[in-house]
Amino acid sequence: MLLIDYYIFNIMTKADIVNLISERTSIDKVEVAEIVENFMEVIKESMSEGNNIYIRGFGTFLNQKRAQKLGRVITKNTSVVIPERYVPKFKPCKEFKEQVKNSKKLQDLK
């Protein structure tokens, strides 16, 4: 029997983000939720138009090109061509990576 170590991470939802921003800025939760929704919508729309988004001190949202490849349909035992496509990718900035890397809470989970 294979034993797998599961690490339990806290999960933060959009509602949690809205609550934190509302607490830190004393702005009404409804207004913060609208701003967060609009922020995410602008990112999705911009990336759908082929734009990359650079947020200094946070990271970059990139459209990454995936090359055409050959896939298999196991149930039919046939090959299919998966066309080239673009997928969204997030690349955190150096400070972001360092902050996560040096996080005391994450070190305690080891």
* CATH 4.10.520.10 describes domain 52-110: yes
Identify the pLDDT of residue 8: 53
First-last CA distance in the chain: 23
Q: Is residue 72 helix, strand or coil? A: strand
Question: With 60 as the cut, is the pLDDT of residue 3 above it?
Answer: no
pTM, to two decimals: 0.75
pLDDT tens string 16-64? 999 999 999 999 999 999 999 999 999 999 999 999 999 999 999 999 9
Q: What is the residue extent of each domain of the chain?
A: 15-51, 52-110
- For helices 29-48 and 14-25, the axis angle rounded to 10 degrees is 120
Identify the pLDDT of residue 30: 97
Question: With 90 as the cut, is the pLDDT of residue 6 above it?
Answer: no
